[in-house]
Amino acid sequence: MIMIFGIPGPLLFGQLLLGLINGAFYAMLSLGLAVIFGMLNIINFAHGALFMMGAFCSWMLLNYLGIGYFPALILAPLIIGAFGIVLEKTLISRLYKLDHLYGLLLTFGLALVIEGLFRNAYGSSGLPYRIPQVLTGATDLGFMFMPNYRGWVVLCAAVVCFATWAIIEKTSLGATLRAATENAPLVQAFGVNVPRLITLTYGGGIALAAFAGVLAAPIYSVNPNMGTNFINTVFAVVVIGGMGSILGSIVTGFALGVVEGLTKVFYPQASATVVFVVMVIILLTRPRGLFGKAA
């Protein structure tokens, strides 16, 4: 067996892969948070709950309507994204003129209510969601066995993150978004319907969270707390990457997942806290985050 730093190779690579998977979820979730924060100036604490709703939505589509995994990968983000649009239209849009804190409180409250409702209806022990048949099994990579579904998750996350980055940085829609982030009134005075753009941005960020939720459903059990488990780390990722930075949230998300994975190998006791230790170090040395622009 190959040994690396006194650690068996398969163990090391296994943890690296696990880290990469967690990192994929961090990246997708913090990306949505970054887009929403940039455009709406809202710290969306409901993000984890909406991620969880994405997972539940795919479970419901399967168990109530017989709609399988792959259609759910498209449908659940659309359904939950539409739900996000309703939230933005009816509640969040009332807070734009107020302090950040109100948006934070509202979305935090929403998260508690949504999670409470799901706990009431489905309990908190978790519901199983099977890996689709074609993605079961594992592939021998030579140095380790990789479960196919895990590879699929990393691939999907990378594609979605890249696509989101490309839309924002390389298209005219993205240019309008970036401009509205900088100076919304002027962009509106050019003839752009900025309120509608904001609504769609929120819907898009939520759809990303729901997409991540569907990907997560077969890996983690579908349960009302699955969002909360992730979201604490995701907020640390956002702080480390730099508030509102698109590239920052993607790179930091994947990187911190890997850091976490490696810590599990070399010093397991610290694996739950390492992300927060990094956050403290970054806040002390570079308060605007790794990719954040100076205020």
Partner 1 sequence: MLEIKGLNAWYGESHILHGVDFNVQEGEVVTLLGRNGAGKTTTMKSIMGLVGRREGSVKFRGQELADKMPNQIARAGIAFCPEERGIFGSLSVTENLMLPPIVAPGGLTVDEIYAMFPNLKERARTAHGTRLSGGEQQMLAIGRILRTGAKMLLLDEPTEGLAPVIVQQIGRTIREIKKRGFTVLLVEQNFRFAATVADRHYVMEHGKVVDMIPNRELEANMGKLHDYLGV
Restricting to residues 207-236, name those near partner 1 by CB under 8 A.
none
Strands (E) across the chain are located at 3-4, 7-8, 138-140, 145-147
Beta-ladder partners of 140: 145
Q: What minimum distance in Å lies between the beta carbon of 188 and partner 1?
A: 4
Q: What minimum distance in Å lies between the beta carbon of 36 and partner 1?
A: 17
Stretch that binds partner 1, among 46-54, 102-110, 182-190, 235-243 (CB under 8 A): 182-190
The set of residues, in sequence order, having a beta carbon less than 8 Å from that of 232 and lying 6+ positions away, is: none
Q: Are 244 and 205 in contact (CB under 8 A)?
A: no
The residue within the footprint of partner 1, chosen from 182, 268, 270, 280 (CB under 8 A), is 182
Rounded distance between C-alpha atoms, residue 259 and residue 255, angstroms: 6
Residue with Cβ nearer partner 1 (286 or 293): 293
Restricting to residues 133-172, name those near partner 1 by CB under 8 A.
172
Q: Does 173 bind partner 1 (CB under 8 A)?
A: no
Q: Does 128 bind partner 1 (CB under 8 A)?
A: no
The set of residues, in sequence order, having a beta carbon less than 8 Å from that of 66 and lying 6+ positions away, is: none
Rounded distance between C-alpha atoms, residue 269 and residue 265, angstroms: 10
Q: What minimum distance in Å lies between the beta carbon of 39 and partner 1?
A: 12
Binding mask 186-205 for partner 1 (x = CB under 8 A): xxxxxxxxx-----------
What is Dmax (Cα atoms) for the chain?
A: 66
Q: Does 98 bind partner 1 (CB under 8 A)?
A: no
Sign of CA dihedral 76, 47, 42, 83: positive
Residue with tokens 């709950």: 49
Q: What minimum distance in Å lies between the beta carbon of 244 and partner 1?
A: 11
Interaction site with partner 1 (CB under 8 A): 172, 175-176, 178-179, 181-183, 185-194
